[in-house]
Every structure is written in structure tokens, then in C-alpha cells.
Amino acid sequence: MALPCGRPRRLVRSGRGALLLGASLAIVCVDCVAAEEHVVNTRAARWVPMVLFIEPGDRVVWRGMEGHETEVLANMAPAGAMPWRSELDDEGFMVTFDQEGAYVYTCLTHMNAGMVGAIVVGGVPHNLAALEAAVTEIEIGRNFVQSLLQRLKREINRRLIP
Ligand SMILES: [Cu+2]
């Protein structure tokens, strides 16, 4: 049974079907968005990848965190989303993203060196205008966040808009 959604599927046998011993095992598509885990790495004072596209329910794990921390920027996440902030050196820090939209984060230690990144959850984010408004509130590293948003929009156009 294949549904044309292009996402991995979690298949389970129903209890009743399993009892039928192969006569006709009932296999149902429970959900078409089985959670995936994505890795953001560090390379010098950069996040790799700088812009990451994921689906709701997916997890992001930050690696190579020695000397770094990850923290979502104020007002740069979808309304109602849980902000995150790791400790310094928190290798394997992990966030599960349930809310759709775009998130912009930094390593505060290296914000003035341009260590900013973005995560897009779901389709074309609904909060781009809010992100652009919030940029004006940033004092240190604003130009880096501005160029990140330009890159974010380019990648959205390339990846999400047919
Ligand atoms: Cu850093």
C-alpha cells in the first residue's frame, strides 16, 4: 500500500490481522510523516547546513558543539513555539519541532562572527514577515541575520515553490 506523499511510512499490522497468520495481514498506514532525525554540525563558526528543511515531528541534533551553543533568537520562531537554548558544549543537544514555520537561531558566542542558522518546518513558512520585522530589533550581528534571511528566501523559492 503506497500513498503518494513521498515520506517514509510507519507500517503496523493490526492485532486482528496478525492473528490471521498471513491469510491477509492487514497493513495500515498509520501516518505518512514518521519522525526523522537531522543533524546540524559546526565548521569553525558556521552551522552546517546553514538552512535546514524538515517536517513537523522531526528532531534536530546539534553536533560538534565544543565551544558552541544553540539558541533561538527572540521573536524569530513561529508564534507559540517553544524557544530553545542549550548550554555551551552541549554535544548532541536535541529539539523536536512540532510547529510549522521558520526558526532562526544562533550561537551567541559567535553571533558577531555570523554563526546563525535557520530551520524550516513544513511547507512555505507563514512567519517570514515576522522574521523580517524582528531583524530590526537585533543589535549585534544583524547584518548576518539579514543575509541569512535572504538565503532562506532563495532556498524556499528553490525547494518549496514548484
Ligand atoms: Cu559558536
Q: How many Å lie between the centroid of ligand 1 and the Cα of residue 113? A: 9
Q: Specify whether 60 is located in the same domain as 96.
A: yes
Domain count of the fold of the chain: 2
Give the mean pLDDT of 87-93: 98
**Residue 47: closest CA among 96, 86, 99:** 86
**Structure confidence by residue, pLDDT tens digits, 16-25:** 433 434 444 4
Q: How far is ligand 1, taken at its centre, from the CA of residue 33, in Å?
A: 32
CATH of the domain at 126: 2.60.40.420
Strands 51-54 and 116-121: parallel
Q: Hey, what's the cell of 32? A: 505518512
CA of 68 to the centre of ligand 1 (A): 4
Domain of 51? Answer: 35-159
Q: How many Å lie between the centroid of ligand 1 and the Cα of residue 21?
A: 55
Contact 150, 131 (CB under 8 A): no
Alpha helices by DSSP H, listed for the chain, are 15-19, 128-135, 142-159
pLDDT, tens digit, 9 for 90 and up, residues 74-88: 999 999 999 999 999
SS3 106: strand
